[in-house]
Structure 1
């Protein structure tokens, strides 16, 4: 019997599945996210209360390295926020040495790519990104250690999870097709900031969306601030404080160049990162 196995499905240029109106029209989704996010937000300042050898700048170095790895490997946007969240939650319950911090970051990237990516980051590749300061056997053993310390609860709620929920529920969400991309980029940058470790993911997402709206010079800036504050239950003063942190973090990644003409919304490019390098200052014993 002859069988026609041709596939006539039209593949979209985007890798994202079509949006389900049943999800974005039902506010119970947002309610559950807001109710459960505290379960996945680091509950303590681990720099002061848990860690004896890890300082905020070390966390910044390793988180930035993780971001650069994800950029170079073109990981899905949700991988980095989850990986950094797993790292922070682990650091809340387990004291480690500074020489083990990059190992922890690589391990969390491995776990996050398994949970939220269609392409798992290979163990040997992550070891290569550490300049082979980490062996494959050690990385695999730490994967089990991290999972056991987190009690296998790795389906975290991150700032990424709120972006679509907020944008799709607001009338100004479709004003620019770059808004979603810009907001995701800002969320990734925020997860490298030590000062935002204990900030709820809903507040991070809210600040990133407002910063994106203003950065793209959309006409709905004031409406966005009001709507976002109402939706995630954050005070306007708190939101403005977080937006300032976001904007400051972006300036460090992409310095302003007054010599160049200002880009229009259509010409906007997301920040680009250099090739990831091993954060040797974290591996060094002496500071």
Structure 2
């Protein structure tokens, strides 16, 4: 990581595109084969958990996303952390008071796996307003690892975005397509109704929602290419795109009316800061 002149935050230095990754059809095939092992295997709200409700998960995952944003974590950290949280809740019953502790622990483990700089435990304690302690997170880290049998490197919706965009002729039509797709994936991972949705389907819907929101000319081609590449049914894709659009309605500020100054944002804002009216008018929003 290195800093730009006049900027206090480090900027990502991305590696060159690896042909062994983006030109080999086995990569997506392996992702599709492996993802089934990491999809939560039950509706834990009805089958496992007694004290944890869907709205509680929404609150905690939104908090987790805000932590990742403030700490400028890599985009891959948050989806993995939520996947760990959901899989843990499928196998271990907890109290509602322990849900934020679990979220902090999942952020710690995910950042160790996917980030260049792991989130410090002290920082995570501070983000909980010190409602959990250093020892709490340490002990729950061991609990998380044991309950998931150390099977942590899950396939998430994030993993498909670059694979699809880099392999499609329309992938370079907008330099915002990748950014918007990643943001939509993060929004989807806060939604309780999508817990058991395969990550490939989430990625397919987010890419197509981003293509439509940016008003790219490749909308029909994008549907066909993504469905073919990720083995997604067109009807399923269209339904999930509508779900993504409704989620975006809740978190993206409304477009300014004529005569008002533009309020372009530089990053995804917390849902508590905006209740917009129009979902896919995102061409002026820089996630």
Instruction: Name 2:51's counterpart in structure 1.
Output: 53
Q: Distance in 2 between matches of 1:122 and 1:91?
A: 24
Structure 1 contact 68–274 (Cα < 8 Å) conserved = no
So what's the TM-score if we normalise by structure 1?
A: 0.87
Q: How far apart are residue 15 of structure 1 and its match?
A: 2.4
Paired position in structure 2 for 1:71: 69
CA distance in 2, matches of 1:17, 1:275: 35
Cα shift readout 1:60-87 (whole Å, capped 9, x = no counterpart): 0000000000001100000000000000
Query: Given the alignment of the two structures, is residue 186 of structure 1 paired with residue 193 of structure 2, yes or no?
Result: no
| 1:146 aligned partner | 144
After TM superposition, the structure 1 = structure 2 runs for residues 162-181 of structure 1, keeping only pairs within 5 Å, are 162-181=160-179
Partner of 2:218: 220
Residue 271 of structure 1 and its aligned partner are, at CA, apart by 2.6
* C-alpha contact 1:30 1:165 (8 A) present in aligned 2: yes
1:14, 1:229 → 2: CA distance?
Answer: 31
Deviation at 1:133, TM superposition (A): 0.3
Residue 271, structure 1, aligned to residue 268, structure 2: yes
Task: Measure how far apart 1:55 and its partner are.
Answer: 0.7
| Aligned counterpart for 1:235 among listed residues 233, 252, 266 | 233
Aligned residue in 2 for 1:96: 94
Higher relative contact order (CA 8 A, sep 6+): 1
| 1: CA distance, partners of 2:13 / 2:261 | 27
Alpha-carbon offset, residue 217 of structure 1: 0.7
Per the alignment, residue 207 of structure 2 pairs with 209
Larger Rg: 1
Within the candidate set 77, 80, 94, 2:78 is matched to: 80
| Structure 2 CA distance for partners of 1:262 and 1:32, relative to 1, 3 Å | farther
Q: Which structure 1 residue ranges, 5 or more long, are not aligned?
A: 1-12, 277-287
SS where residue 174 of structure 1 aligns?
coil
Q: Residue 27 of structure 2: SS of its match in structure 1?
A: helix
Q: Distance in 1 between matches of 2:213 and 2:184?
A: 11
Hey, what's the Cα distance between the residues in 1 that align with 2:58 and 2:24? Answer: 37
Q: CA deviation at 1:259?
A: 1.7
Q: Is 2:156 the partner of 1:158? A: yes
Q: In structure 2, do the counterparts of structure 1 residues 178 and 268 end up closer, same or farther at CA, with 3 Å as the change threshold?
A: farther
| Residues 251 and 271, structure 2, Cα contact 8 Å, conserved in 1 | no
Cα offset for 1:258?
A: 5.1
Q: What displacement does 1:250 show?
A: 1.1
Deviation at 1:257, TM superposition (A): 3.6
Structure 2 unaligned blocks of 5 or more: 1-10, 274-287
Secondary structure of 2:170's counterpart equals helix
Using the size of structure 2 for normalisation, the TM-score is 0.87
